[in-house]
Amino acid sequence: MEIRTLSAVLSFAEKLEGQGAEFYEDLSNQEKFSENRNFFSDFAKGNRKHKQQVKRAYQESITDAFETGGSFNLEPSDYLVSIAMSGGLGQPAIIKKAIELEEKMGKFYLDAGDQSKSLLADISRTFKLIAKKKSERQNKLRYLYQENKGGLDD
């Protein structure tokens, strides 16, 4: 099922951010991440903030004309990550899953931003800004991973 309309893109973005917020909230409540509780709690808050940014950009920019055509060509499966938690996963494996989540979400926002730039400059800017934040979050997670594992190649 391809995403073709702005409404579908925004709905998918809300879904991604909601799942991400739940994932990070779960991590912040796990005893094995007690030292990083605030780190993951901040990420969950960031996901909720991104969700609001997308909604705000949509509300400020949208007209019925944008919903009449197929302005987007996005495949949701390209951006999904299985984030079901397994009690047996160690910290490094969970952090790697978080890195993958941020990479996929960042790619979604970059792709959606590229596909919307000719018609929806405000939305495109918002998507690109969120993609940049996702990249910054990947760097923070990689640092955390190295602290827990000793390097990404291990």
Average the pLDDT over 50-55 and give the result.
Answer: 90
Q: What is the pLDDT of residue 63?
A: 55
Reduced to 3 states, what is the DSSP secondary structure of residue 74? strand
Per DSSP, the three-state class of 150 is coil
Q: Please, which pLDDT band fits residue 21 given cuts at 50, 70 and 90?
A: very high
Query: Domains in the chain and their CATH numbers?
Result: 6-149 (1.20.1260.10)
Name the more confident of 59 and 93: 93
Number of Cα atoms under 13 Å in the Cβ half of residue 11: 9
The DSSP H or E segment spanning 154 is none
Integer Rg of the chain from CA:
16
Cα–Cα distance, 72 to 54 (Å, whole number): 16
